Amino acid sequence: MEEEQGDKALERKVGEAMRRPFIASISGKGGVGKTTLTALLLKVLLENEVDDVILVVDADPATNLPEALGIKIDKTIGDVVEEFRSKMLEFSEQGVDKPSILSYWVLRDCFVELERFDFIAMGRGEGEGCYCYVNSILTGVLTRILKNYTVVLMDMEAGLEHLNRRVDRYVNTLIVVVDPSAMSLRTAERIIKVTKEVNINPEKFYVVGNRIPEDLEEKIANFVKSIGYEYAGTLPEDELVARYSIEGRPLLSLPSSSKAVKAAKEIAKNIGLID
Ligand SMILES: Nc1ncnc2c1ncn2[C@@H]1O[C@H](COP(=O)(O)OP(=O)(O)OP(=O)(O)O)[C@@H](O)[C@H]1O
Ligand SMILES: [Mg+2]
């Protein structure tokens, strides 16, 4: 009996190793539920009690994910870039290596190390051209640190621009959230096209439906299959999610028995995040 358990544990470890690193971006049209899904996937991953080393990235300048997770951040990359700009003149007088100082500051000030996962938020800069710049700093930081993690979950900005900036260049699992609107399906269609145009090459393309009425599920699943995605499941409308969001309570403390968490668990299984 003990031996069987040992074999099973080994089998599980080998299975996990084969599916890691799991580097996912969660994207889609504005307001479809990207941040909610990111938080719920993290929740079910944390409940799964495997020894993954997890990084969570808020790659949306609006920076909504910390609140959804109930964590405090001191500075975003955008904040650090602004600070750096204000000191730029001083640095040029001293003849120092500016890019190295900036990466050092970002890692020192933006990186939040929590008990179960690490977190970093992109934020936004204020100046002209700052959007691009802050994106490129995030990408540079990810290039340096991704190798330290077995799971990376990235909550992306609405739309497609992040693909052009190639913030998701290391992603091997691309997840697009859709709601029951033609516009969200069109965004999913454009995401898969642009991904190919800019040479981002994930291994897996999934769509997750959010708040899709049951009678539309099959139709939407068939449509997304026809454009190159696997349909990973549906998050139901969950009154508790809405309540937690309005009350500013973290989605990580939702009860495991809630509709949305149960559905997220199924989705996490379907995309290979958990067994
Ligand atoms: N399944 C659900 N049940 C109930 N409320 C939900 C559900 N999904 C999302 N919501 C609510 O809808 C709103 C938008 O969700 P969310 O912030 O996750 O979308 P988003 O795609 O990240 O938006 P943005 O494009 O602004 O980043 C939030 O208030 C959230 O609480
Ligand atoms: Mg969001």
Ordered structural domains, the chain, with CATH: 20-270 (3.40.50.300)
Give the pLDDT of residue 243. 98
Indicate whether residue 34 lines ligand 1 (CB < 6 A).
yes
User: Are 172 and 204 contacting, i.e. CB atoms less than 8 angstroms apart?
Assistant: yes
- Nearest partner of 123 among 189, 53, 75, 56, judged by Cα: 75
Give the pLDDT of residue 3. 57
Ligand 1 atom with least separation from CA of 31: 23
Q: Which residues pair with 113 in a beta bridge?
A: 118
Give the pLDDT of residue 7. 81
Strand pairing report for 112-113 and 230-235:
unpaired
Q: How far apart are CA 275 and CA 270, in angstroms?
A: 9
Q: Tell how far the Cα of 251 is from the centroid of ligand 1, in angstroms.
A: 11
Indicate whether residue 260 lines ligand 1 (CB < 6 A).
yes
Indicate whether residue 237 lines ligand 1 (CB < 6 A).
yes
Indicate whether residue 243 lines ligand 1 (CB < 6 A).
no
Q: Tell how far the Cα of 64 is from the centroid of ligand 2, in angstroms.
A: 6
Q: Tell how far the Cα of 12 is from the centroid of ligand 2, in angstroms.
A: 33
Indicate whether residue 6 lines ligand 1 (CB < 6 A).
no
The ligand with the least distance to the CA atom of 33 is 1
- Specify whether the backbone of 81 is left (phi greater than 0), alpha (psi in -120 to 50) or beta: alpha
pLDDT values of the chain reduced to their tens digit, one per residue, 275 residues: 455 577 877 877 777 677 899 999 999 999 999 999 999 999 999 999 888 999 999 999 999 999 999 999 999 999 999 998 888 777 666 667 777 888 899 999 999 999 999 999 999 987 766 678 899 899 999 999 999 999 999 999 999 999 998 999 999 999 999 999 999 999 999 999 999 999 999 999 999 999 999 999 999 999 999 999 999 999 999 999 999 999 999 999 999 999 999 999 999 999 999 99
Strand pairing report for 151-156 and 22-28:
parallel
Q: How far apart are CA 118 and CA 98, in angstroms?
A: 26
pTM of the model: 0.94
Give the pLDDT of residue 96. 73
Give the pLDDT of residue 67. 97
Indicate whether residue 32 lines ligand 1 (CB < 6 A).
yes
- Specify whether the backbone of 49 is left (phi greater than 0), alpha (psi in -120 to 50) or beta: left
Q: Tell how far the Cα of 95 is from the centroid of ligand 2, in angstroms.
A: 40
Q: How far apart are CA 205 and CA 225, in angstroms?
A: 10
- Nearest partner of 85 among 162, 120, 137, judged by Cα: 137
Which of 245, 262, 266 best tests ligand 1's pocket when mutated (most atoms within 8 Å of CB)? Answer: 245
User: Are 189 and 227 contacting, i.e. CB atoms less than 8 angstroms apart?
Assistant: yes
